[in-house]
Amino acid sequence: ATPMEQAASLALRNSLGISATSRVVVYLGLLAPYQGTDLLLEAASIMINEWGMSDVHFVVMGFPGVDSYRSQADRLGLNGRVVFPGRVPYADAPRFLAIGDVAVAPKLSATEGAGKIGNYMAMALPVVAFDTPISHEYLGHLGVYAEKGNSRSLASRLREALDNPVRYREVGRLLRQQCAADLSWETAIDRIEAVYERALARRAGKRAPDM
């Protein structure tokens, strides 16, 4: 990051009540049980209250139900350690994700898409996700996988990523490379063109005997 980007990240951290030395887990997406929001807060409670990881902050961005999840965080004793900025405009998402050390994708659905993972990858963030087919489709061998639906497993994998920053910064860098190769518009256009070319070739091949 450039000095200007670092200054912007520090200013955003300060505005959210997060110190420059804190380690930050970021989440960006809908807030709902099927998205794993409840399990994420349970994992945060395990890490902060049970394991004493008092320097860890969670920035949980999204909607709806912000007030109810903020109340759940308070009941779990997470006051001041979990921040809910609410709906973040898409254009501002990179600025918010840039303050993270680790991203989390605790969605429970085995088939529904997980576009947030692509956003995390583009920001060179290591990603902790539940072990589902869609997570593997995005992350492959570079994902940090927790047992699906298990908040303690999620906490353990988040701790692993946070406690090994050098290793997982490299994982994030590789995920960004993978994102550029597999998820960019240029790659998508190339693949669409290839599909059309194959379809046209098949049509031409079928028509050839009639000519």
End-to-end CA distance of the chain: 61
pLDDT greater than 50 at residue 1:
yes
Helix axes 37-45, 151-163, angle to 10 degrees: 60
Q: Give tens-digit pLDDT for 30-65.
A: 999 999 999 999 999 999 999 999 999 999 999 999
CA distance 123 to 150: 26
pLDDT classification of 102: cutoffs 50, 70, 90: very high
Which secondary-structure segment (H or E) carries 105? Answer: strand 102-105
Q: For 163, phi and psi rounded to 5 degrees?
A: -80, -5
Alpha carbons within 13 A on the beta-carbon side of 12? 19
Q: Give tens-digit pLDDT for 103-132.
A: 999 999 876 667 889 999 999 999 999 999
pLDDT classification of 201: cutoffs 50, 70, 90: low
Tell me if residue 34 falls in helix, strand or coil: helix
